[in-house]
Chains A and B, each alone.
Chain A
Amino acid sequence: MIKAVMMMNTQGKPRLAKFYNYMPVEKQQELIRGVFSVLCSRPENVSNFLEIDSLFGPDSRLVYKHYATLYFVLVFDGSENELAMLDLIQVPVETLDKCFSNVCELDIVFNYSKMHAVLDEIVFGGQVLETSSAEVMKAVEEISKLEAASNSISLVPKSVSGWRGR
């Protein structure tokens, strides 16, 4: 089972954090900080695996990927295959790349809500839901259409402009 999905930038600022077992906010922050402190001391060109029992308890594994200014982190238990988890990081990244054509940290910051929608189409209750970024895109586009439809009816007159996030 996947215990947590985290995105943080190279300064340690969380950009997305989702825990699949409830955790109070202080504990979440402690874990995010703990993970960051280990990640930021990792050199380049080493493995993507970390031992993380000290933070998440026994039988915890962590894989991460480093993209420009962002770390993408998955924490999971022994029932998952490590390399498959590493691959899984690629799915949201590919999807976001399609959404924003050449995604960067700013896209993620300002489209925070979209990030949640994308993630919910990939990881569901701590399990892998979908691994095809094409399928994820389809689902996300469907959601966007619904929103747009709803916005055009009731929200556009109220909102000041058609400002679209980025």
Chain B
Amino acid sequence: MTGMRGLSVFISDIRNCQNKEAERLRVDKELGNIRTCFKNEKVLTPYKKKKYVWKMLYIHMLGYDVDFGHMEAVSLISAPKYPEKQVGYIVTSCLLNENNDFLKLAINTVRNDIIGRNETFQCLALTLVGNIGGRDFSESLAPDVQKLLISSSCRPLVRKKAALCLLRLFRKNPDAVNVDGWADRMAQLLDERDIGVLTSSTSLLVALVSNNHEAYSSCLPKCVKILERLSRNQDVPQEYTYYGIPSPWLQVKAMRALQYFPTIEDPSTRKALFEVLQRILMGTDVVKNVNKNNASHAVLFEALSLVMHLDAEKEMMSQCVALLGKFISVREPNIRYLGLENMTRMLMITDVQDIIKKHQSQIITSLKDPDISIRRRALDLLYGMCDVSNAKDIVEELLQYLSTAEFSMREELSLKAAILAEKFAPDLSWYVDVILQLIDKAGDFVSDDIWFRVVQFVTNNEDLQPYAASKAREYLDKIAIHETMVKVSAYILGEYGHLLARQPGCSASELFNILHEKLPTVSTPTIPILLSTYAKLLMHTQPPDPELQKKIWAVFKKYESCIDVEIQQRAVEYFELSKKGAAFMDVLAEMPKFPERQSSLIKKAEDVEDTADQSAIKLRAQQQPSNALVLAEPQPVNGAPSPLKVPIVSGSTQDPDSVARSLSQPNGTIGNIDPQIPSPDLLSDLLGPLAIEAAPEAVSTDQHGPIGAEGVPEEVDGSAIVPVEEQTNSTELIGNIAERFHALCLKDSGVLYEDSHVQIGIKAEWRGHHGRLVLFMGNKNTSPLTSVQALILPPAHLKLDLSPVPDTIPPRAQVQSPLEVMNIRPSRDVAVLDFSYKFGTNMVNAKLRIPATLNKFLQPLQLTSEEFFPQWRALSGPPLKLQEVVRGVRPLALPEMANLFNSFHVTVCPGLDPNPNNLVASTTFYSESTGAMLCLARIETDPADRTQLRMTVGSGDPSLTFELKEFIKEQLITIPMGSRAIVPAAGSGPAQPVAQPPSPATLADDPGALLAGLL
């Protein structure tokens, strides 16, 4: 190791290099030199080889790629003398990765060293295996390593290495440690006297119990024994006592192992352990010596974790909180840091919030600590401990801190402040104040979500509107305001500015003037918002103010030829509309309330927390209803919106956009043509979940009762329409219902059903977990269709609201009926539309699946490998990640399969999987219960057999994973528009009365059974 002059000279040369360039030249020269020598085997003595290989390692550390000489390094392993062998082992373990082919060549040498008699060689070989830990090693060497570990003739030096080597092999390949026999051996190992071996063995135990604690239950009392030996009996050799503390590392490891056992059942073991814990909790003080502090508190914090894990008695818990309270105010920064971190952890586990609140002022002080690590911990803790009672204080502190916080923290800080303000607002005007302050102080860090959310609250709460408007007006007086502030105040003043009309400085023309001053300072995306505001101001000016109108028209005119399409379109349309009088009023009427939905902010935060394993706030949020949400009035259930109003575009937060959209399609897809038709009966039918039983015209008793639409038995497909009486002028089905349904599953508009009298078209818009469908029912005849009924049979996971359908469809007329869909949770079940009408005396009934399928709530999402793989790995296995080998897949070329996936919004991410026969895909699923949830999928195909594949699907929700997996499977196995189509086509011949369907009439009595039969 020493005595290599050449190496020292080389290192000096490198040190003397004046700059990076000189260093590179020197390195290149050396590499050239080494390369030449390696080629000339004759002059290459083992000593020279050793020297060169050390140089290679040094060069590697400096950051240069050394892509040759690996063979030489590996060959040194088999050198007979120690120094060469040593360098061979050390350098190999640093330079090579486990899959390197040279390593395979060395396995035999390594094995010989392990089973050989030379202990120093054993150590070298174990170190290599432990540091590299490849699977090949694991398979061929595990038994030998096990033998070394339990051998009584081996020195502790070898055995402790064997223990850790085995751990590494186990990590690579869990079969390396055979559980059956090994549990007892493991327990015996824990009786070891040598602290070095015991420490390594305990590390091994931690890895084993984290995998399977049941198999190692016999080790539990042994861990407690170790703790007693160390902590109570202080039975430790001097060299393992660290500042008077008996081997802190071993104490920590033993307590860590205990945290992998769910509980401790044996009362005497439990008692013994609690005695030890009590001793640790009581006997640790903050002292002057930093190293001693670290060691003693390492043990103490581990003890705290163990106490939390064991869910100890209340008394011990409050003792822990008291200790933590002490820690967060000590001078020693490390202990303060860990004190804050553990308090946050404790919040999640137990109900100690009230005790922690006592330390609130101290925690707030930590927010001003010079150390950013501590500030972050304090922020996390404040965020976690916030509730209705202290939200005002905490949020105000956060706001204050925002102006001085470093940039790297501001975004997180403002997001957290916004979320807390929303969740725990004692009153909504305070919430508005907070958000506006936030925008004012840190506009750059306030994401759009935050200002969208405040707009939603203001829109949904009438009491708040004048207040918000006057606040927004106040901020406009400031000299330089952030663009986001311009956006939010422009929006609010456009909608509610007229509520301030009587106040000084708030007339429409004054509002226009002050807003228009900001226009030259804002960027393109803000201008459309300002234009909408101007239009609204103009509309609210009653009686019209010709002066203002002139000014605003001038602005519209100016932007008529703007290069930005959005701005141009708005300018042109608003200008034209503003000449239209009443229509102008209608179009620009106040925005309707937003449907109640989960805050995208909170969702975002929860997503983050789920990964960060900090769900304290979530847990508590479930226990404490948020005031803010209570205050917000819920959206009336399908409260037949005035046809004059702009339609709600569900899920849109881009409010100004929706105005624009509705403007560009003035004949929007809304409203019932015939509002006076719906009878109260029908309404109640629609609302009642058992509507089908109450439906007066249900033909369930008729022997030709309604049967499944394009249901499971394929023969039935054609019989979706059943004439009540067999008449010659019976109904003729046009097209195939199943085919139409499958087509609509992949697109958003088209024909759902058609027969000789009626055509039902569908048009859908999906956003997040909301959907808005419009059913277009057209009468093809010259005589009216009567007794028209449309009932929705909703599956449990969907909330569906169908606007009432008129009883009669006039000749050659079309009625539209909007259907609001909300997805509650993942499911593949499908809603059914029970549609019936009378033509003449002929009663026709059809049960149609509504294409509100799982994939409609998916949003395409393309991930990069940096985004994909951490998420993929984070999903550890069932039930979140499920795998299945699917057979009987219809053969598809890979690009076709990718297209299929993309068509149902599961985006294939090309190039992510190194194997070209595999597909990796991602998507976001939306439902009320899951929120926006990332889903990942991987398909491994077999090029030799395209009819089978292996599929792995993962998401953060077990039921979602299962449903999505089944959904994808269905798509892969069935042929959506294949042979099935033929059968019904044959069955739907003209005037062919459909034979008695196989489904018994009684089915129709039970909606559940009926649905089950249908699906």
Contact = CB atoms under 8 A, between A and B. Distances in A.
Interface of A: 14, 16-18, 20, 22, 25-26, 28-29, 32, 42-43, 45-51, 57-58, 79, 81-84, 86-88, 90, 109-114, 116-117, 120, 124-135, 139, 142-144, 146-147, 150-151, 154-156, 158-165
Contacts of B294: 83, 86-87
A22 B298 CA distance: 29
B370 A46 contact: yes
B8 A79 contact: no
B200 A26 contact: no
A126 B168 contact: yes
A47 B60 contact: no
A113 B199 CA distance: 26
Contacts of A156: 3
A64 B369 CA distance: 19
Interface string B826-854: 00000000000000000000000000000
A29 B263 CA distance: 44
B870 A58 contact: yes
Name which of A22, A43, A111 has the most chain B CB atoms within 10 A of its CB. A22
A87 B373 contact: no
A158 B334 contact: no
B15 A109 contact: yes
6 contacts: A14-B62, A22-B96, A25-B63, A58-B874, A125-B131, A150-B82
B245 to A, nearest CB: 10
A69 to B, nearest CB: 13
- Which 9 pairs between the two chains have the least Cβ-Cβ distance? A125-B130, A83-B298, A22-B97, A46-B371, A47-B333, A29-B63, A134-B239, A125-B168, A84-B298
A81 B60 contact: no
B11 A109 contact: yes
Nearest to B305: A81
Given A47-B337, A146-B82, A25 B870 contact: no
B86 A87 contact: no
Could you say which of B4, B81, B294 has the most chain A C-beta atoms within 10 Å of its C-beta?
B294
B874 A146 contact: no
A47 B54 contact: no
B772 interface: no
Contacts of A88: 249
B127 interface: yes
B61 interface: yes
Given A87-B242, A87-B248, A110-B11, A28 B200 contact: no
B133 interface: yes
B769 interface: no
B336 A147 contact: no
Contact of A163 (B8, B161, B203, B297): B8
B240 A131 contact: yes
Contacts of B870: 57-58
A160 B5 contact: yes
Given A125-B131, A131-B199, A84 B249 contact: yes
Given A58-B611, A120-B127, A146-B120, A162 B3 contact: yes
A94 B336 CA distance: 26
A87 B298 CA distance: 9
A143 B81 contact: no
B554 interface: no
B58 interface: yes
B90 interface: yes
A5 to B, nearest CB: 11
A146 B123 CA distance: 13
B291 A90 contact: yes
B536 interface: no
B83 interface: yes
A26 B2 CA distance: 29
Given A124-B161, A155-B47, A147 B200 contact: no
B728 interface: no
A45 B332 CA distance: 9
Contacts of B423: none
A42 B63 CA distance: 24
A86 B3 contact: no
Given A46-B374, A47-B373, A51-B376, A147 B82 contact: yes
Interface string B59-96: 01111111000000000000001110011001000101
B82 A49 contact: no
Contacts of A32: 63
A139 B157 contact: yes
Contact of A151 (B3, B65, B196): B3
Interface string B847-877: 0000000000000000000000010001000
Interface string B249-283: 11011001000000000000000000000000000
Contacts of B86: 117, 143, 147
A47 to B, nearest CB: 4
Nearest to B194: A135
Contacts of A144: 1-2
B519 interface: no
A128 B196 contact: no
B160 interface: yes
B164 to A, nearest CB: 5
Nearest to A48: B334
B3 A84 contact: no
A127 B250 CA distance: 12
Nearest to A139: B157
B45 interface: yes
Given A25-B60, A135-B239, A158-B47, A164 B334 contact: no
Contacts of B83: 146-147, 150-151, 155
